[in-house]
Structure 1
Amino acid sequence: MTFKLRKIVLAATLATAGAMTALAGSAQAGTLTINIAFKGASQRAVWQQVIDEFKKAHPDVDVKPSFVDEEAYKVQLPGWLTTVAPDVVNWHNGERMAYYAKRGLFEDLSGDWSKNGWNTTYASTKEASSYNGKQYAAPTVYYSWGMFYRKDLFTKAGIGAEPKTWDEFLDDCKKLKAAGITPIAVAGRDAWTLAGWFDYLDLRLNGNAFHQKLMAGEVPYTDARVKKVYTTWKQLIDSGYFIDNSLSYDLDSAQPFLFQGKAAMMLMGTFITSGFPASVKPEMGYFQFPIIDAKVPTAEDGPVESLHIPSKAKNKADAHTFLAFVETPDIGAQLAKGLGSLSANSKSPEPEDPISKIGFNILANTKGGIAQFYDRDMTKEMADEGMKGMQQFISDPSKIDDVLAQLEQTRKRIYKK
């Protein structure tokens, strides 16, 4: 083969290879892979519905969703993010998001927040979506935590209005007890229900900024502010305001205290409303956890579900387009209804259910920040030890100092601070 002919063949080969690469690139650019964690058929169905609507709006994008059961998803996610990553994943905000952002595995979405006006519509969840001042999450839904109560039992005890302050709350507990009604049901066998009490007492006494430092292992458990959370909690226990032997009951076995009129209140997330018996539902009310210190900006627990673009995603352009599509008021409301939650978008239509409506307004108007809940705001190992400590405290409230000293040793070991 002559030199000239070799050059022509080589040029043709390179041109063909270049054309094929360009074709592969354009095909790849039009394929959007999305991995979704779900619990139950209804959750999968609502995500499929949203993806179908996106396809109609963007017919040029070939969407390939994969639906994975939530428990399996948790195990598989680290592998996806470090190898062949999908273009979009759903996950949780707070520490669980920061864990991957810290390792460079989630794309910085700060530009999307500015461009799409999310700083306003998702103002209450911005802090939980951020790591080191940058946003790595697009919030979808969350749910509210607050005090469920029996309206008829309040009336029976002569309580005319929901308590707004801690003093009013303590006064109502006193009235309920005098009327022969246990003020508060708690499911201490499920340690996470105790964590809800810790979160709210800490948020109301010390605020979310302090709470997040504690969750990040930056504050000693022997700090006087942490002890104040436990001493405030102890006052409720010493006054006999919780059901007896609360460590014997999990959530399923504690709720009947409320349903049967044996206890008047329970601190819990709005996800329990679907389990209320029809006969009791009209008597159930819901109010914001009372304000203890008016000087502390009011923060709430509102665990947030979110969407993320992995750093190793291949089709980031369409991934950003998909996030912008989902982060709208109508899609937010659609997801919230299908997932049994609340839309994180403050401009979404209010939910119809009365308790969900109260929860939506509490979270949408929160100025002091949204915490993700105790075991989502810190590392799993510390959360497990912390909740074990809460059960030890409930078992013997006089052992506050011992429990906190033990937790401080654990904090030093885990965080090496």
Structure 2
Amino acid sequence: MSRRNLLRGAAAGAGAITLPALLAACGGGPGGDGKTVTMGSNASDPVPKKAFAEAFRAYEKQAKGGRKVEVNTVNHEGFQENINRYLQGKPESVFMWFAGYRMQFFAKKNLLHDISDLWEGYSGFSDALKEQSTGADGKQYLTPYYYYPWAVFHRKSVFEKYGYEAPETLDDYLALAKQMKKDKLVPIAFSDKDGWPAMGTFDYINMRTNGYEFHKNLMAGKEAWTDRRVREVFDTWRRVLPYCHEGANGRTWQEAAATLQKRQSGMAVFGLPHPGQQFPEAEQDDLDFFPFPVINPEHGQDAVEAPIDGFLLAAKSRDLKNDKAMESAKDLLKWLATGEAEDIYLKHDPNNIAVSDKADTSAYSPIQKKAVDLVSNAKQISQFLDRDTRPDFSSRVMIRAIQEFINNPKDVDGLVNDIERQKKTIFASD
């Protein structure tokens, strides 16, 4: 049993009771003083935590009536694992979460406040962003804040030293990995102790092999995991695994990204913030990426994984029980929807991309500008496996399934049969 699963088992006991209480510890009673907006934050890593603190401080300086933001920061993984209990318990007024299916799931359960009235006044957001912020009922629930693409990251200096070139196809990718191994590098930094990092690799192999529509339908429970197309994904991944870090289930993403920074590994499939947070400021210019390579020419590199993060109102929050408190919470969301608010955040965390076209991109680093081009040229944008499907299917089935595959990549038949059996049970309850 992995540490991740062990923790999950513990959470089903005492931990599952204490975390919602911990998350809601900042609440000031029903409605509080009406001026203080309580915030449930999953930004536990140092860089985003500081950046959010600067953004909220800026809000407080310009807010009318002495409004304040009281932040309760919880470990990122713990927050995600316990989000369902949190939202049904005593959550803060505002909380950080994700766009797309993960938001729609909780909206359908009436755990989110409708903010369609705020969207009537929002400007600078594309139709695609609005769609990702909209529930199945056609109402808006999310204020998007930033996004970040996933790609294959590397150091420019390492590629220059060995004369490597960015691969365009899977065969080129494997040939490059083979050469890196000869050059005494770990070809692909790899980790899955936290249960989600390897999902990015699965998604890209799936979308490059079968296309975005199949990815979307598979995540929605409309395709069988026993389908030959899914087996092909795992068979392809099995070809890549010999070039990946061994012992991935015992390694955090921070540890994997650090090997890239230390020039011990050659490449890593990550989101933009992950290697970025492990590189000192003086080395940021040495970080680069290329799109995940082509597998099936029919789908090329059409799809890009680019998760959107933002802010939502918790329907069961005891801090939103009066009009003044709701007014304050919505005032914060309106400010967070501005380009100014995004500029302040990104000044302190240059590892993400603003969603608002009102944001100032003139100060973007070369890698941020490259990230904008990557997403702008994509024909489809996915949100990530654990955001494009039901949270219970992701946490209860896919985390364990992918970790088991990493440990034993030979039994694909047993793996997909087990996933499909559990999928039918979970999606039948929808």
TM range (shorter): 0.7 to 0.9
Pick the aligned partner of 1:400 from 388, 407, 412.
Answer: 412
Pick the aligned partner of 1:102 from 83, 102, 108.
Answer: 108
Secondary structure of 1:397's match?
Answer: coil
| Equivalent in the alignment of 1:383 | 395
Contact 1:194 1:390 in 2 (8 A): yes
Q: Which runs of 5+ in 2 are unaligned?
A: 1-30
Q: Which moved more, 1:74-83 or 1:214-223?
A: 74-83
| Equivalent in the alignment of 2:346 | 336
Residues 314-362 of structure 1, C-alpha deviation per residue, up to 9 Å, x if partnerless? 4455544432322122211212344564244242233544434433443
Pick the aligned partner of 1:91 from 84, 93, 97.
Answer: 97
Contact 1:164 1:290 in 2 (8 A): yes
Contact 1:87 1:319 in 2 (8 A): yes
* Distance (whole Å) between structure 1 residues aligned to residue 259 and residue 148 of structure 2: 23
| Equivalent in the alignment of 2:335 | 325
* Distance (whole Å) between structure 1 residues aligned to residue 351 and residue 284 of structure 2: 18
| Equivalent in the alignment of 2:423 | 411
Secondary structure of 2:224's match?
Answer: coil
Residues 279-331 of structure 1, C-alpha deviation per residue, up to 9 Å, x if partnerless? 97664422222243454473333333212234564445554443232212221
Pick the aligned partner of 1:223 from 219, 222, 227.
Answer: 227
Which residue identity does 1:137 align to in structure 2? L
Mapping of 1:260-299 within 5 angstroms? Answer: 261-269=263-271, 270-276=273-279, 283-293=286-296, 295-296=298-299, 298-299=302-303
* Distance (whole Å) between structure 1 residues aligned to residue 298 and residue 128 of structure 2: 19
| Equivalent in the alignment of 1:371 | 383
Contact 1:35 1:68 in 2 (8 A): yes
Secondary structure of 1:104's match?
Answer: coil
The answer to whether the aligner puts 1:145 opposite 2:154 as a matched pair is no
Residues 130-186 of structure 1, C-alpha deviation per residue, up to 9 Å, x if partnerless? 321443101112333221123344345543x42344454344335445655443221
| Equivalent in the alignment of 2:5 | none
Secondary structure of 2:196's match?
Answer: helix
| Equivalent in the alignment of 2:311 | 307
The answer to whether the aligner puts 1:135 opposite 2:140 as a matched pair is yes
Q: Which runs of 5+ in 1 are unaligned?
A: 1-26
Which residue identity does 2:409 align to in structure 1? P
TM-aligned CA distance change 1:201 to 1:124, over 3 Å: farther
Contact 1:299 1:371 in 2 (8 A): no
Secondary structure of 1:307's match?
Answer: strand
Contact 2:225 2:416 in 1 (8 A): yes
1:197: Cα distance to partner? 0.9
* Distance (whole Å) between structure 1 residues aligned to residue 192 and residue 63 of structure 2: 49
* Distance (whole Å) between structure 2 residues aligned to residue 129 and residue 406 of structure 1: 32
1:376: Cα distance to partner? 7.2
| Equivalent in the alignment of 2:8 | none
TM-aligned CA distance change 1:84 to 1:273, over 3 Å: closer
* Distance (whole Å) between structure 2 residues aligned to residue 225 and residue 127 of structure 1: 28
Mapping of 1:171-210 within 5 angstroms? Answer: 171-177=175-181, 181-210=185-214
Contact 1:94 1:377 in 2 (8 A): no
TM-aligned CA distance change 1:404 to 1:85, over 3 Å: closer
| Equivalent in the alignment of 2:360 | 349
Contact 1:142 1:343 in 2 (8 A): yes
TM-aligned CA distance change 1:172 to 1:86, over 3 Å: closer
Count of residue correspondences: 385
Contact 1:207 1:368 in 2 (8 A): no
1:259: Cα distance to partner? 4.6
Which residue identity does 2:291 align to in structure 1? Q
Contact 1:139 1:344 in 2 (8 A): no
| Equivalent in the alignment of 1:23 | none
Residue identity (%): 25
Contact 1:191 1:387 in 2 (8 A): yes
* Distance (whole Å) between structure 1 residues aligned to residue 303 and residue 411 of structure 2: 29
Mapping of 1:45-60 within 5 angstroms? Answer: 46-47=51-52, 49-51=54-56, 53-54=58-59, 57-59=62-64
1:198: Cα distance to partner? 0.7
1:276: Cα distance to partner? 2.9
Which residue identity does 1:292 align to in structure 2? I
Pick the aligned partner of 1:163 from 164, 167, 178.
Answer: 167
| Higher Rg of the two aligned structures | 1
Secondary structure of 1:139's match?
Answer: strand
**Root mean square deviation, CA, Å:** 3.8
* Distance (whole Å) between structure 2 residues aligned to residue 330 and residue 131 of structure 1: 27
| Equivalent in the alignment of 1:235 | 239
Q: Which moved more, 1:189-198 or 1:67-76?
A: 67-76
* Distance (whole Å) between structure 2 residues aligned to residue 410 and residue 80 of structure 1: 24
1:402: Cα distance to partner? 1.1
1:43: Cα distance to partner? 5.3
* Distance (whole Å) between structure 2 residues aligned to residue 182 and residue 301 of structure 1: 24
TM-score using structure 1 length? 0.75
Contact 2:189 2:267 in 1 (8 A): yes
| Equivalent in the alignment of 2:72 | 68
| Equivalent in the alignment of 2:218 | 214
* Distance (whole Å) between structure 1 residues aligned to residue 90 and residue 412 of structure 2: 48
Residues 182-205 of structure 1, C-alpha deviation per residue, up to 9 Å, x if partnerless? 432212555423222112212333
TM-aligned CA distance change 1:80 to 1:200, over 3 Å: closer
Contact 2:191 2:251 in 1 (8 A): yes
Which residue identity does 2:148 align to in structure 1? Y
